[in-house]
């Protein structure tokens, strides 16, 4: 789950990271007031859950409260990568002598937290990774020991030759690690972390993604979800108890089990098709879940056909068949549905689907091939 910069800043501050004072506002008048209270210069920042706001014109400096109001007016309502800006953060601006990148992710290979630092901060870190990977230092952290002093020294020396600044940076890296672990992040990033000409260090941007699997114990964080920034289908799917990810292809997929869903997508690709989504309806699927899945998939205009691939274990094929019939009735389906149902109650399912326009498939491979044909014609 992504959270807004304003919320990530609050978490940073709670963990002792140096974050300039700021206020979240929704109109120009409040932006002026915020600038007066905070003291100018300020920076006015679009609160949208996408990166590269600076480049898109969503981050502007202002040297007076009037100018802050003007900049807020310009940014509010702006469209950044498909999202309309509804709130801006007015933050105390700092002078920048150096910009660093500092971030943490979960490293799949070592299955441990990984800290990445770079003296080439401020800009797109993916770009740095591509063009000059030697400017990024990666350090794997063993959670049994936490971040070790020698690791901190390694990273801070990589960032700055200045002992005094390196020492300040060390404290910040240690705090970022505590944030990462403390709020169960999948990503925590400061880009840029800046050093001012007066040799102060400030985190002037804040990004935290929280692992969805830990939201049950991150109670405070759950309220930070911004559904307006999420794919509508993904929000509905979550509410219906489905696991859904939208993709760009033409073949909608309804599958039970994440592994089978992945295998189905792989096979579609293998035979030259493009999946329109990942969708796992989970175990013990009721007809309602199938109906909800259909609704979500059909909203995508690119979907030309739907492949239903069910391996009935706990999921009963007859339940799924009933859901399909119901969906066809309620939604007035006019695109081909390819159905492969196997396992628990498959005979009953076949009985239910007999005489309907659904395209049956005996195996997964046949189902995939038929779906690709149907999507092409």
Give which of Mn ion, ligand GDP, none residue 279 binds (C-beta under 5 to 8 Å, depending on kind): none
75 part of the interface to ligand GDP, by CB under 6 A: no
Residue among 96 and 157 whose Cβ is closer to ligand GDP: 96
Choose the binding region for ligand GDP from 93-101, 102-110, 174-182, 287-295 (rule: CB under 6 A).
93-101
93 part of the interface to ligand GDP, by CB under 6 A: yes
- Specify the residue for token string 């003291």: 39
Residue 137 per-residue DSSP state: E
As measured in angstroms, the least distance from the Cβ of 125 to ligand GDP is 10
85 part of the interface to ligand GDP, by CB under 6 A: no
Site track 174-213 with Mn ion (rule: CB under 5 A), x = hit = -----------------x-------------x--------
Can you tell me the distance from the alpha carbon of 53 to that of 12, in angstroms, rounded to the nearest whole number?
Answer: 20
Can you tell me the distance from the alpha carbon of 16 to that of 83, in angstroms, rounded to the nearest whole number?
Answer: 31
Which secondary structure element, helix H or strand E, spans residue 204, and what is its range? none
Catalytic residues: 101, 189
Can you tell me the distance from the alpha carbon of 39 to that of 89, in angstroms, rounded to the nearest whole number?
Answer: 14
Residue among 62 and 358 whose Cβ is closer to ligand GDP: 62
Whether 317 contacts 343, CB under 8 Å: yes
Whether 255 contacts 266, CB under 8 Å: no
48 part of the interface to ligand GDP, by CB under 6 A: no
Among the listed residues 21, 51, 86, 171, the single contact to ligand GDP using CB under 6 A:
51
208 part of the interface to ligand GDP, by CB under 6 A: no
18 part of the interface to ligand GDP, by CB under 6 A: no
Can you tell me the distance from the alpha carbon of 272 to that of 302, in angstroms, rounded to the nearest whole number?
Answer: 16
Residue among 53 and 71 whose Cβ is closer to ligand GDP: 53
Strand 337-343 to strand 305-312: parallel, antiparallel, or no bridges (unpaired)?
parallel
47 part of the interface to Mn ion, by CB under 5 A: no
193 part of the interface to ligand GDP, by CB under 6 A: no
Can you tell me the distance from the alpha carbon of 119 to that of 135, in angstroms, rounded to the nearest whole number?
Answer: 7
Among the listed residues 18, 113, 122, 249, the single contact to ligand GDP using CB under 6 A:
122
49 part of the interface to ligand GDP, by CB under 6 A: no
Among the listed residues 2, 53, 246, 304, the single contact to ligand GDP using CB under 6 A:
53
Q: Enumerate the β-bridge partners of residue 25.
A: 88
Give which of Mn ion, ligand GDP, none residue 122 binds (C-beta under 5 to 8 Å, depending on kind): ligand GDP
Nearest to 300 by CA among 210, 222, 221, 237: 237
Q: Which residues of 146-180 are buried (b: 16+ CB within 10 A; e: fewer)?
A: ebeeebbeebbebbbeeeebbebbbebbbbbbebb
Whether 88 contacts 4, CB under 8 Å: no
Return the CA Rg of the chain.
25
Residue among 6 and 261 whose Cβ is closer to ligand GDP: 6
Among the listed residues 28, 35, 59, 172, the single contact to ligand GDP using CB under 6 A:
59
Residue among 88 and 173 whose Cβ is closer to ligand GDP: 88
Whether cis (ω within 30° of 0) applies to the bond prior to 263 is: no
Can you tell me the distance from the alpha carbon of 122 to that of 201, in angstroms, rounded to the nearest whole number?
Answer: 14
Interface ranges with Mn ion (CB under 5 A): 191, 205
Name the residues that contact ligand GDP, by CB under 6 A: 43, 45, 51-54, 59, 61, 93-94, 96, 122, 191-192, 204-205
């Amino acid at each position: 789950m992504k959270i807004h910069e304003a919320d990530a800043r609050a978490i940073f501050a709670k963990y002792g990271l140096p974050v300039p004072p700021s206020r979240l506002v929704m109109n120009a008048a409040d932006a002026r007031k915020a600038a007066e209270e905070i003291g100018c210069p300020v920076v006015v920042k679009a609160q949208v859950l996408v990166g590269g706001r600076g480049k898109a014109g969503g981050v502007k400096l202002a040297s007076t409260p009037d100018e802050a109001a003007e900049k807020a007016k310009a940014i509010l309502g702006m469209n950044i990568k498909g999202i309309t800006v509804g709130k801006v953060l007015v933050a105390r601006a700092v002078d920048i002598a150096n910009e660093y990148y500092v971030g943490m992710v979960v490293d799949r290979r070592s299955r441990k937290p990984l800290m990445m630092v770079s003296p080439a901060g401020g800009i797109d870190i993916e770009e740095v990774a591509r063009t000059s990977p030697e400017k990024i230092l990666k350090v794997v952290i063993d959670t049994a020991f936490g971040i070790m002093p020698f690791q901190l020294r390694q990273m801070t020396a990589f960032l700055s030759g200045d002992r005094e600044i390196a020492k300040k940076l060390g404290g910040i890296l240690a705090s970022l690690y505590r944030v990462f672990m403390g709020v169960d992040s999948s990503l925590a990033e400061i880009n840029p972390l800046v050093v001012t000409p007066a040799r102060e260090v400030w985190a002037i941007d804040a990004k935290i993604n929280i692992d969805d699997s830990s939201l049950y114990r991150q109670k405070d964080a759950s309220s930070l979800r911004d559904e307006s920034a999420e794919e509508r289908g993904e929000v509905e799917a979550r509410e219906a108890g489905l696991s859904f990810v939208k993709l760009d292809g033409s073949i909608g997929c309804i599958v039970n089990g994440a592994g089978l869903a992945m295998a189905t997508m792989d096979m579609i690709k293998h035979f030259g098709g493009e999946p329109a989504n990942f969708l796992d309806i989970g175990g013990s699927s009721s007809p309602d879940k199938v109906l909800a899945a259909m609704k979500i998939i059909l909203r995508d205009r690119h979907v030309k056909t739907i492949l239903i691939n069910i391996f009935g274990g706990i999921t009963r094929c007859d339940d799924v068949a009933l859901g399909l019939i119901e969906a066809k009735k309620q939604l007035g389906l006019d695109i081909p549905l390819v159905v492969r149902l196997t396992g628990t109650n498959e005979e009953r399912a076949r009985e239910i689907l007999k005489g309907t326009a659904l395209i049956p498939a005996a195996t997964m491979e046949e189902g995939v091939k038929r779906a690709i044909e149907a999507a092409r014609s």
